[in-house]
Chain A
Amino acid sequence: AQSVTQLDSHVSVSEGTPVLLRCNYSSSYSPSLFWYVQHPNKGLQLLLKYTSAATLVKGINGFEAEFKKSETSFHLTKPSAHMSDAAEYFCVVSVVTGRRALTFGSGTRLQVQP
């Protein structure tokens, strides 16, 4: 079985300050991990993915995430928040089996204050 826990349902930062969105996962197999972003009334866009290569993964729009097996974590960070980063962020786990399904976390709403 696999599961994802996003530790914060809501994060508020000021523009220009760092962003940290926390995610812990549970998986019986070696997982693939993703972060997706959903802007208001939009679909989901892939930010970045970890698939057992480098543990520090760089994504689009300056985001990056570090896979830490010992902590079962995959936190998303960005050095400096922009107003356009305000959105819902989902941490997602996938197990390489025949199912191919993604298991989504409950989401973290990022608010960016001017």
Chain B
Amino acid sequence: DTAVSQTPKYLVTQMGNDKSIKCEQNLGHDTMYWYKQDSKKFLKIMFSYNNKELIINETVPNRFSPKSPDKAHLNLHINSLELGDSAVYFCASSQGGSGSGYEQYFGPGTRLTVT
């Protein structure tokens, strides 16, 4: 069974379109995240939800809007896509407890290409 899954795996779209990426985790974790990995492989946190509540909202354009319908799902909606949004987007989840260090489990990634 896949622990953290994302759909779609690949997404090719034109500038100006609106698209969504879905993420689901079956680990029972209470926190979910979205990261963006750029062309140089650098990973940066975008958002984090804990028990459906937004706890991290880094400096990303407001064209990006996360939505968490329940603890197991965190979707990412992107409006008016731009060329610079092309990247790989990773979803992750973790469970609280200092003993775990909040280790995160990552999905396989969604490669978004904006043309």
What are the interface flags for B31-75 relative to A under an 8 Å C-beta threshold, 1 for contact and 0 otherwise? 101000000111111001010000110000000000000000000
Contact (Cβ within 8 A) A51 B99: yes
Pair count A-B, CB < 8 A: 67
Nearest residue, chain A, Cβ from B43? A104
Sorting the interface of chain A by its residue count into under 10, 10 to 19, 20 to 34 or 35 or more gives 20 to 34
Number of interface residues of B (CB under 8 A): 27
**Interface presence of A88 (CB below 8 A):** yes
Checking B33, B42, B44, B103 against A34 with a beta-carbon cut-off of 8 angstroms, the contacting residue is: B103
Chain B residues whose C-beta falls within 8 Å of the C-beta of A94 in the assembled complex: 101-103
Contact (Cβ within 8 A) A101 B56: yes
Contact (Cβ within 8 A) A44 B99: no
Contact (Cβ within 8 A) A46 B48: no
Contact (Cβ within 8 A) B45 A102: yes
- Residues of chain B touching chain A, judged by Cβ–Cβ distance below 8 Å, are 31, 33, 40-45, 48, 50, 55-56, 90, 94, 96, 98-109
